[in-house]
Structure 1
Amino acid sequence: MSTLILSLETSSPVCSVALHRDGQLLGQSELRLEKSHSSHLGLLIQQLLDNTGATLKDLAAVAVSDGPGSYTGLRIGGAAAKGLCFALDIPLIAVSTLQALAHQVAAYTARAEEMLFCPMLDARRMEVYSALYTREGREVLAPAPLILDSDTLAEQLAHHRLLFFGNGAAKFAPLLQTPNAGFLAGIEPSAIAVGALAQLAFERQEFRDVAYYEPFYLKEVHTTTPKAK
């Protein structure tokens, strides 16, 4: 029996959905509009199912990008995934946003075994959410918020070639003067990579509790009270 997995990526300004059958991509759709996730995610899902000839009842699981990333975006994706899994009585899979980002780059990088992959997601000012992975996806440095300066990841850069990418990597480039640092532009989170890793998680039966799942925000969310008029 084939495994059909719907994947959602809402951790960034790009709202992305993908559909995989037994790890093979059937289709994907994305929308690059700021603050559009809540109003367009459901429509993207339905259009993707229609275009691939699938229905919600065909799904074996729903995968969601787990974070870190946009607090609001992660909540929207998590709520949608939980709602679908609860209604359809199917498993929920959570995939690290940073690991998925590294996977999509490593899969198309020549001599990938010679370097470490460092996704960086912008966390405003000179801070990013980051981690380090090998070509195979093994975690070398756990996801963490990093303050960027000339000494950031200095130990790793002294012994390895690192490839940086993601929407937070550009502000790190001017701080480094080492041949061991490479940078890729235009790399954004994609539901395609989430789906590829979700298939592996499905085979290992690595599911999350639908009732209690919360995205991996990494940092506490700071809110302010509006000033009285």
Structure 2
Amino acid sequence: MKNRIDIYPSIWRIIGIILAGSLFVVGCYLRTIHPRAGIDKLIGYFGIVFFSLVVIIGFVWLILSAMRKPLARIYDNRLEYLIPAKMKYEIIPFLYVEMFVTVKVGAKLIRADYLTGVSKNTGIVNTLVPVGKVCDMLNERLEKFWSQPMLSQPLNRAFVTKYLLTMGIEPWCFDFDTTSKPDCMVVMRDGDRYKLIYIDDRGAGKTLSNHLTENDACRALLENFIEEEVFKSQHGLK
């Protein structure tokens, strides 16, 4: 993809992890055969197991690097980071994010701070990449995302329509104040309130959410399609 930035783990950092882990395994093994005290053997065996896992993880990342599997992918509207155990990418849409920060949780890593006040740690850690530099790249993309006219001001149907069409969403997939389109998401005015409705293939409507303002209803419509696009990307459907 043209605007995608792929973040790969540093080969030298991975090799460093493998070598350091191997040295610690040897050190722990020597501790088991030449214990100074009874507990030394226990510590040695525990160390062998722990640092062997570190070495294995290092080799996993080495293989993934050889396969050209990015640690993270930065798009114009989201971050995707790899979870090796699942061989899947976890996705964080920028629409939910206030900013990205670096924090120390054992290792230094990147955390996404959401607009709702909660936060989420990513799998981007300083043992594999320079997290400060990657964090700056993420915040730069995030700033560009929020500087878009349709997102930097109150949302209405004109802005949302423009944004969804820019995303490549077909015009028949969404509408406003109508129930005549099958298989369509609709923002419907209901008195002095608004609701987001899904019209199925048979023309039956299902209310998905209720909102006090058009801005909130339009945002719900936008979020619905962003989540759908994220799902398609995550499962290889697009």
Looking at secondary structure, tell me which structure has more helix per residue: 2
Please confirm whether the aligned pair reaches a TM-score higher than 0.5, indicating the same fold. no
Relative contact order (alpha carbons < 8 A, sep ≥ 6): 1 or 2 greater? 1
Using structure 1 for the length normalisation, give the TM-score.
0.24
